[in-house]
Amino acid sequence: MPAQENELQAVSLALRTARANQTPIQPPSKTWPTLDAEDGFKIQQISTEHAVQNGDRLVGYKLGNIAKVMQDAFGLDHPDYGFLLASTFVYESTTIRRKDYIKPYVELEPAFVLRGPLKGPNITVADVMNAIDYAIPAIEIIDSRVQNWEIGLADTLADNGSTGAVILGGTPKKLTELTLRDTRGTLRFNDKEVMDGNTANVLGNPISAVAWLVNRLAAYDIEFQPGQVILPGSCLQAVPMEEAGHWKCTFEGWGTVEFDVV
Q: Could you read off the pLDDT of 96-152 as tens digits, one per residue?
A: 999 999 999 999 999 999 999 999 999 999 999 999 999 999 999 999 999 999 999
- CA end-to-end distance (rounded Å), the chain: 46
Supply the Cα-derived Rg of the chain in whole angstroms: 17
The pLDDT score that the predictor gives to residue 29 is 94
The pLDDT score that the predictor gives to residue 195 is 97
β-sheet bridge partners, residue 106:
141, 239
The pLDDT score that the predictor gives to residue 128 is 98
Please list, in sequence order, all residues whose beta carbon lies within 8 angstroms of the beta carbon of residue 127, skipping any fewer than 6 positions away: 118, 211
Compute the mean pLDDT over every residue in the chain, rounded to the nearest whole number.
94
The pLDDT score that the predictor gives to residue 78 is 76
The pLDDT score that the predictor gives to residue 133 is 98
Give the burial class of 71: count Cβ atoms within 10 A of its Cβ; 0-12 exposed, 13-18 middle, 19 or more buried.
middle
Q: Which of 13, 70, 74, 68 is nearest to 46 (CA)?
A: 13
**Total structural domains within the chain:** 1
> Cα(16)–Cα(20) distance, rounded to whole angstroms?
6
> Cα(101)–Cα(216) distance, rounded to whole angstroms?
29
Mean pLDDT of 147-172: 95
The pLDDT score that the predictor gives to residue 229 is 98
Q: Could you read off the pLDDT of 244-255 as tens digits, one per residue?
A: 999 999 999 999
Q: Could you tell me the CATH number of the domain that includes residue 98?
A: 3.90.850.10
Percent of the chain topping pLDDT 90: 91
The pLDDT score that the predictor gives to residue 224 is 98
Domain holding 217, by residue range, is: 1-261
For residues 47 and 75, the answer to whether their CB atoms sit within 8 Å is no
Q: Could you read off the pLDDT of 18-40 as tens digits, one per residue?
A: 999 999 999 999 999 999 999 99
Q: Could you read off the pLDDT of 61-106 as tens digits, one per residue?
A: 999 877 566 556 656 567 899 999 999 999 999 999 999 999 999 9
